[in-house]
Amino acid sequence: MGWFSPDIQTVEELFLHNLQDIYYAERQIEKALPDMAAKASDAELKKGFNTHLKQTKGHIKRLDRAFKMIKSIPQGTKCPAIDGMIEEANEIAGEVADKMVLNAALIAAAQAVEHYEIARYGTLVSWAKLLGRPNVAKLLAMNLKEEKATDKKLNGIAKRKINRKAAARKRSKPDEIERAENAFLAATSGIPAI
């Protein structure tokens, strides 16, 4: 079912599609968070990821309840956006050697995911209200509130310490390594090292 396909003809169908989208996203996030926590070297950030993992499990339970309230089976629909964000986070994490810079990259990746979730939940809350589903809107609003709080906490950790520590890091001394390699090459070739 594509975004602009004839499969979606009503707001109810659009609501269900987006509910399935966020359900899939939460499941993928649930799988990704333990790895992010393992990669984090900052204790507060690690704790934050583990706390959010517990919240994510709660979000999934609320989504299960929301599906039941609308008499639908809890299921996800593939979400290329969240898959792309998680894939990008993994790629960047694999490219960052410095632990402080990695912490900053992990926060950036987590905030991208949080902003996606905030956008989805905000829309779903509005549509649930529009469709006369105040109880569903209330459940989704609880998830939205927690996503916003998580984003705020990540932002606080980043501003308070992680970004400064990462910015204070220097390149992993390529100039010194390069000079040593050049000196070695020069010494072995008979040219005096400078």
Query: In the chain, what are the domains?
Result: 11-169 (1.20.1260.10)
* Residue closest to 126 by CA, chosen among 144, 114, 113: 144
Q: Look at the block and give the residue holding tokens 């039941």.
A: 68
The answer, yes or no, to whether residue 134 has pLDDT greater than 70, is: yes
Mean residue pLDDT of the chain comes to 89
The answer, yes or no, to whether residue 109 has pLDDT greater than 70, is: yes
5: exposed, middle or buried (Cβ count in 10 Å: 0-12, 13-18, 19+): exposed
Q: What are the helix and strand counts (H, E) for the chain?
A: 7, 0
Residue range 149-160: mean pLDDT, rounded? 96
For the CA atoms of 37, 43, 47, 50, the dihedral, rounded to the nearest 10 degrees, stands at 10
How much is the pLDDT for 1?
47
Question: 6-15, 106-115, 168-177 — which is least confidently predicted?
Answer: 168-177
How much is the pLDDT for 193?
47
Q: Is the pTM of this model over 0.85?
A: no
CA gyration radius for the chain?
23
The answer, yes or no, to whether residue 126 has pLDDT greater than 70, is: yes
The answer, yes or no, to whether residue 9 has pLDDT greater than 70, is: yes
Residue range 163-170: mean pLDDT, rounded? 87
